[in-house]
Amino acid sequence: MDLSTPLSFLFGTEQYVDLRRQLVLLRETIMNYVYRESNQHIICSGSFGEGVAYPGSDDDVMFSLMNYRVVKTYREATRAGDVLMVPSEFSPGYCRLLDVKGSYPDNSICTIHDMPFVSSSIWKQHFTVEGQHIHGPCQSGTVGTSVYDLAYCIPCYTWPDIAKDWVIRERSYSWPSCETIQRIIYNGCHVVPIGDADSPYADHEWRISFSVAERTLMHSFNHAQFLVYNLLRLTLKKVIAKAFPEVLCSYFLKTTLFYTAENTPKQLWQVHNLESCFITCLSVLYDYVDHIYCPNYFIPGYNMIKRKINHWNRHQILDILRTVHRFGVAGIIRLSGESACLVLSLSATLLEYKLDREFMFSYHLLCGLVGINFFFNTLPHENTVSCMLHLYKFWTVLECNPTILESDFKFIIWNKGKFSCCLKLMDQLFTSSEMNKQDYQLYKTLEALLRIGYRGDVTTGKLTMATYLYMVGKTESALYVIRQLLSEYPPYIIDVSVDELKAQAYMDVMCGRGFTMNYKIRHAHAPQYRLFEDFRNVFPTPLKMRITIMDE
């Protein structure tokens, strides 16, 4: 069975995957520009950063603290905030950080053999705020319905000695390329605050993180490798994790694919050969579980599953992998207990939808706006000047990076920014009890933004305008806008959820006619209208008891 078409629908076409990766880099560029004076370099990591996330996925962000630095020798420690990396004698891939300059607060220091080391556990507690909880090396929390993980880490600008063999080891099939390897070395690594659970110094150790390097490798994947990785994740989610939750994780699958790509010829990785590629990766994963040894890709001496696999679950996981290996994708269906859903997604039934590339690109692009929306909704909310300044900075970044995205899509994101600013301005205005000269200027600014964004998509601009009109006492005008919205609401609206009828209606009207994505967004996109708790003052009083505030 040709898997490339149904899998591309589920996980993204090659064109969309490339766009999703560009979105990651754009979002990161914007965030670092906005917060460029904070001594923090923001890195989009995890599934979102690697371009394999879907709506509902967690949002992982690393904050690389630029006023600190990890060095490998005393000679390199030349400034305040420098710490010396002392490799762990108990577990490869972990280290302790020696405060050689005495620049860290006393309450973050633990003394081992009369030497001051920075405590990883105290470090995490320092950055944890109300509403967050510690999850591994991260602070976890929620914004609306989105879950995020924040990791406050320290950069190491030189490649660690323990991973030097990765740079020079022989690669028979030239993956990754020399250029990719050099880029990875140039970017260095980070240390994140978590120790090895088996170490007597677990509370004081740090793990060497290669998240930026892994993202670079993931972005270098061709489409066949991307689809196989998602098939492996599907196997984990639908089959293995149901029987053994939290035993294997997607990081092990990513490592499996890295090693397999490095040790197999490029000719294997073709979209018409997905089943064979998938089976090859399963064989590698099977060996890892069988020997209870999954070597870290950069530090092979670090066994990542030594505490995950035991003799009891090992045999049962091997049985699952044997079944999937024998039957391929059909094995996932056989074991998942969700055959109807998977057959619909992975069989010829899906192909009968005849969803062309233009529709799939439109569909996945709209899903890709989730991360951009999350960024705008978390911008500082202090005052209007701040809001407008952030929006101006955002537009400046877009103009300075013409190669990141086509101008048509830049305009779409610009509209998203205007919508966020409108909500912030409205919330500020409706909090004030008296009108003054400054408020009058805010009203004028808000009305200008509302008029510009009125037709940014099918629903958002009109609903925001109607809310504003109602709140300023123009009830009839607000009702007129709502009636206009309802009368013009087309049957071919698409969003992150879409059925066959809507997809076909969308294709009939929007595809194959030369419409730009901006036009499609304005006439056929109805995103969820999300108002977070920060915008409580925007709600009309009679509706406050009926509107669900997305703060859980």
pLDDT tens, 270-317?
999 999 999 999 999 999 999 999 999 999 999 999 889 988 899 999
Overall fold of domain 221-352: Poly(a)-polymerase, middle domain (1.10.1410)
Helices H / strands E in the chain, number of each: 23, 12
Taken in order 277, 279, 280, 286, the sign of the CA dihedral is positive
Q: Model confidence over 469-484: pLDDT tens digits?
A: 887 888 899 899 888 8
Q: Determine the Cα angle at 326 with ends 324 and 332, to 5°.
A: 25
Residue ranges of the chain assigned to CATH 3.30.460: 39-213
Least confident stretch, 319-323, 373-377, 502-506: 373-377
Domain covering 39-213 assigned CATH 3.30.1490 in the classification: no
pLDDT of residue 337: 61
pLDDT of residue 364: 52
pTM: 0.75
| Tokens, residue 295 | 């070597």
Over 50: is that where the pLDDT of 354 sits?
A: no
Task: Please give the average per-residue pLDDT across 446-466, as a whole number.
Answer: 78
C-alpha to C-alpha distance for 365 and 21, rounded to whole angstroms: 11
The backbone torsions φ and ψ at residue 37, rounded to the nearest 5 degrees and listed phi first, read -100, 10
% residues pLDDT > 90 (the chain): 37
What single-letter amino acid sits at 543?
L
C-alpha to C-alpha distance for 288 and 305, rounded to whole angstroms: 9
pLDDT of residue 212: 96
SS3 132: coil
Strands 115-118 vs 133-135: parallel, antiparallel or unpaired: unpaired
Q: Determine the Cα angle at 525 with ends 524 and 529, to 5°.
A: 145
Over 80: is that where the pLDDT of 527 sits?
A: no
The residue with greater pLDDT, 290 or 332, is 290
Q: Model confidence over 134-166: pLDDT tens digits?
A: 988 999 988 665 678 999 999 999 999 999 999
Over 70: is that where the pLDDT of 467 sits?
A: yes
Nearest Cα neighbor of 509 from 497, 528, 493, 496 is: 493
Over 90: is that where the pLDDT of 206 sits?
A: yes
Residue ranges of the chain assigned to CATH 1.10.1410.40: 221-352
